[in-house]
Chain A
Amino acid sequence: MINLRDKGAEFWERSNRPVRVLTVFAILAVVAALPYAGNTFLQTPVAAFDAVLVYPMGMFILMALGLNVVVGKSGMLDLGYVAFFAVGAYTMAILGTRTGLNTWEIMPIGIAAAMFAGVLLAIPTLRLRGDYLAIVTLGFGEIVRVTALNSEGIGGALGIAGIPFPPGLGFEYQLLDQKFFYWTILVMIVLVIWVIRRLTVRRPGRAWESIRQDEDAAELMGVSTYKYKIWAFVFGAAIGGGAGVFYASRSMVIAPDNFTLNTSILILACVVFGGMGNIWGVIVGATILGYLPDRFRFLSDARLLLFGLVLVVFMNLRPEGILPRKKREKAIVKKGSGASI
């Protein structure tokens, strides 16, 4: 059996800098060209392929990367991730329709608002463990939605309409041809991957991993668990908020109905499907789970059912996710006999 993942890792390790740069560019070029493949077997029956690439696929990837830091790496079950998405989206909706700011100006505000929501949620609840954290975060997500629903000032049940597209830089964002939206979100995804990779291989990544595996032992080894848990939450919230700003700007209309518990579950399923903690797995997972229901219509109504099955089946049978296991061990060859291994 060819283990693509290990082959890829070997290739990467053997290559020098120029080859690596070239590889990355090649992959990016292929991915960027995807919208042009809309008329192939990849075609989605109802929604346009390039629209599907943006939502749900691109958005799911972005949010799954954010949730992955919280759930996958740090082991904190956040069932209310949609709340940060909603905060970002509503920030965009409100400021976009009532002030003259454009999407890129609103983006940092939306991210900051989501991060603030993250801190607000994290501080009282991070002392809770496991199940209780899950329920409380679930509650938080619902509270945000119901508050939006009952607040006439921000549109109530009907939400907010007329949210402007982002300003194009020499091009125009369009509804019928979503290429520019797609490339924008691609840039966002690449940026997020880059930042997460940096964090993962350094102290924050180790801190999060140690918290996930044995929080008490981590704390006794000097890891400031409370601080790092808040960081994980806030970081994940920032990504969710950023995704929300983008989503609102592209969707033109948002309403509380767009931000239900189901969305939190969908993103969680992407993380589980891809393998918790594993960036590449999560990207592959979100891509597949985002794409399939739009490609095969019969799956579409059963989308939530499918995702629920993913949660149960993968947690029980394949918790490491769909990508094959990474062979991280180097054989102990030099030090002599094949003694107890």
Chain B
Amino acid sequence: MFDALFDQFWSLTFSGIALGFIYVLIAMGYTMVYGVLRMINFANSEIFMVGAFATVMVSKYVFKLSNDAIPPSSFKLFFVILCCLLASMLASALLAFLVELVAYRHLRNRTTNRIAPLISAIGIGIVISEIVRILTGARTQFSPNIIPKKALATFQGAEIRLDNTITIIAGLILFIILDRFIKYSRLGKGIRAVSMDEDSAKLMGVNLNRVISLTFIIGGLMTGAAGFFYVNVYENVKFNMGFSLGLAAFTAAVIGGIGNIRGAFFGGISLGLVEIYASAIIGTQWKPVTVFIILILILLFKPNGIFGEAVQKTRV
């Protein structure tokens, strides 16, 4: 049972880290929104799915990429990658903005019915995924290869693939940009202020609606990028792909301490590795259950996550 793990350890590790970065990016959508709203962005899984579809649509229909045709030249490839990445990021960001507007904004001030915004967000997520299902006929759509899966080098017998490498490097760059942004920019400070104390932030002149919208948009940009990278590595999309990936990313956010961006980084990478290793050991059919069990255990025994703030506080 453990043979597969040891034989392919480094190969699994690279895949795990790449998957981890995908989780980190999606987790940004959950953790940032939770930071400012104290609510889970239930529709983030669909925001991810739409981002992934955007890459497929652009590469397949705009650039007419296909596995049968001649692969594009390096320069053109670079251009294609950029366009797909931007398309995904923008599509997801736009959707995230709309989700906030429709599902959360009207309801988030209601104190008597705390579950109303959640139900509303779940509803929106369903509407989005159902629309996609009806439009695509519920079949898995295959993506053409965008970033070639060439081996760049080998390390201890494992191939270091180009697509995994780009995912890792780009994911890291995006995360660092986000981290700096939150720390140093004016908007970033506004976001942090709102997440620490909404009332004081308002008194200090922070425009709450704008901060919340922008938080959703930024989360959407990250999640969309994750969609792009996912398509590059796994080359398929389906209307319900968001569910298990969203759940895993959410778990990653909770592991790191929800609301805590750096914690989500740790959570995402760890979960990616754990998941890939576990699949090598026990196979994949229990995967959704394992993630849920991890989540439930964390919420029961360490709800603050490893680095984060308390999940709920009584306010009297």
- Residues of A bordering B, CB below 8 Å: 71, 75-77, 79, 124-125, 128-132, 134-136, 139-140, 142-143, 146-147, 149-150, 213-214, 216, 220, 265, 268-269, 272, 301-302, 304-305, 307-313, 315-316, 319
Interface string of B111-136 (1 = CB under 8 A from A): 01111111110111111001100100
The answer to whether A77 and B115 touch across the interface, beta carbons within 8 angstroms, is yes
Question: By the criterion of a CB under 8 Å from any partner CB, how many residues of chain B are at the interface?
Answer: 43
The answer to whether A265 and B134 touch across the interface, beta carbons within 8 angstroms, is no
The answer to whether B295 and A312 touch across the interface, beta carbons within 8 angstroms, is no
Interface residues of B, dominant DSSP: helix
In the assembled complex, the Cα of A142 lies from the Cα of B303 at a distance in Å of: 21
Please name 21 pairs of A and B residues whose Cβ atoms are closer than 8 Å in the assembled complex, sorted by A. A75-B113, A125-B300, A129-B114, A130-B39, A130-B312, A132-B311, A140-B292, A143-B289, A143-B293, A213-B112, A214-B112, A269-B123, A302-B130, A302-B134, A308-B125, A311-B123, A312-B123, A312-B124, A312-B127, A315-B119, A316-B102
Q: Is B107 an interface residue (CB 8 A)?
A: yes
In the assembled complex, the Cα of A135 lies from the Cα of B115 at a distance in Å of: 12
A to B contact number (C-beta, < 8 Å) = 123
The answer to whether A129 and B122 touch across the interface, beta carbons within 8 angstroms, is no
User: Distance (Å) between the CB of A38 and the closest chain B CB?
Assistant: 30
The answer to whether B119 and A305 touch across the interface, beta carbons within 8 angstroms, is no
In the assembled complex, the Cα of A131 lies from the Cα of B127 at a distance in Å of: 20
CB within 8 Å for A142 and B289 given contacts A124-B296, A302-B134? yes
The answer to whether A146 and B286 touch across the interface, beta carbons within 8 angstroms, is yes
The answer to whether B119 and A77 touch across the interface, beta carbons within 8 angstroms, is yes
* Nearest 8 A/B pairs, CB to CB: A311-B123, A308-B126, A139-B292, A312-B123, A305-B130, A131-B40, A315-B120, A308-B127
Set of chain A residues within 8 Å of B102, measured between Cβ atoms: 312, 316
Contact residues of B between 77 and 127, Cβ < 8 Å to A:
102-103, 106-107, 112-120, 122-127
The answer to whether B113 and A319 touch across the interface, beta carbons within 8 angstroms, is yes
User: Distance (Å) between the CB of B287 and the closest chain A CB?
Assistant: 9
The answer to whether B119 and A311 touch across the interface, beta carbons within 8 angstroms, is yes
- Residues of B bordering A, CB below 8 Å: 39-40, 42, 102-103, 106-107, 112-120, 122-127, 130-131, 134, 247, 250, 285-286, 288-289, 292-293, 295-296, 299-300, 303, 311-312, 314-316
The answer to whether A136 and B295 touch across the interface, beta carbons within 8 angstroms, is yes
In the assembled complex, the Cα of A142 lies from the Cα of B116 at a distance in Å of: 23
CB within 8 Å for A311 and B122 given contacts A128-B299, A139-B295, A216-B316? yes
Q: Which of B115, B286, B288, B312 has the most CB of A within 10 A?
A: B115
Interface residues of A, dominant DSSP: helix
The answer to whether A315 and B107 touch across the interface, beta carbons within 8 angstroms, is yes
The answer to whether A71 and B115 touch across the interface, beta carbons within 8 angstroms, is yes
User: Distance (Å) between the CB of A290 and the closest chain B CB?
Assistant: 18
In the assembled complex, the Cα of A272 lies from the Cα of B289 at a distance in Å of: 28
User: Distance (Å) between the CB of B131 and the closest chain A CB?
Assistant: 7
Set of chain A residues within 8 Å of B311, measured between Cβ atoms: 128, 132
Contact of B292 among A124, A130, A143 (CB under 8 A): A143
Set of chain A residues within 8 Å of B299, measured between Cβ atoms: 125, 128, 132, 136
Q: Which of A129, A265, A316 has the most CB of B within 10 A?
A: A316
The answer to whether A134 and B118 touch across the interface, beta carbons within 8 angstroms, is yes
In the assembled complex, the Cα of A265 lies from the Cα of B126 at a distance in Å of: 9
CB within 8 Å for A316 and B120 given contacts A139-B292, A143-B292, A304-B126? yes
In the assembled complex, the Cα of A265 lies from the Cα of B292 at a distance in Å of: 19
User: Distance (Å) between the CB of A281 and the closest chain B CB?
Assistant: 15
In the assembled complex, the Cα of A309 lies from the Cα of B314 at a distance in Å of: 33
In the assembled complex, the Cα of A79 lies from the Cα of B285 at a distance in Å of: 22
User: Distance (Å) between the CB of A146 and the closest chain B CB?
Assistant: 5
Contact of A77 among B118, B124, B247 (CB under 8 A): B118
User: Distance (Å) between the CB of B271 and the closest chain A CB?
Assistant: 15
In the assembled complex, the Cα of A309 lies from the Cα of B316 at a distance in Å of: 36
Set of chain A residues within 8 Å of B289, measured between Cβ atoms: 142-143, 146-147
Contact of B286 among A129, A130, A136, A150 (CB under 8 A): A150
In the assembled complex, the Cα of A265 lies from the Cα of B121 at a distance in Å of: 12
Contact of A309 among B123, B250, B286, B315 (CB under 8 A): B123
The answer to whether B130 and A308 touch across the interface, beta carbons within 8 angstroms, is yes
The answer to whether B134 and A301 touch across the interface, beta carbons within 8 angstroms, is yes
The answer to whether A268 and B286 touch across the interface, beta carbons within 8 angstroms, is no
Set of chain A residues within 8 Å of B126, measured between Cβ atoms: 265, 304-305, 307-308, 311
Knowing that A308-B126, A313-B123 are A-B contacts, what are 7 other residue pairs whose CB atoms are under 8 Å apart, sorted by A's residue number? A136-B295, A136-B299, A139-B293, A140-B292, A143-B293, A146-B288, A310-B123
Set of chain A residues within 8 Å of B114, measured between Cβ atoms: 75, 129-130
Set of chain B residues within 8 Å of A142, measured between Cβ atoms: 288-289, 292
The answer to whether B127 and A319 touch across the interface, beta carbons within 8 angstroms, is no
Residue in B closest to A313 when the chains form the complex, CB atoms: B123
CB within 8 Å for A130 and B314 given contacts A135-B295, A150-B286? no
User: Distance (Å) between the CB of B240 and the closest chain A CB?
Assistant: 10
User: Distance (Å) between the CB of B47 and the closest chain A CB?
Assistant: 15
The answer to whether A272 and B119 touch across the interface, beta carbons within 8 angstroms, is yes
Set of chain B residues within 8 Å of A301, measured between Cβ atoms: 134
User: Distance (Å) between the CB of A268 and the closest chain B CB?
Assistant: 7
Contact of B119 among A132, A136, A268 (CB under 8 A): A268
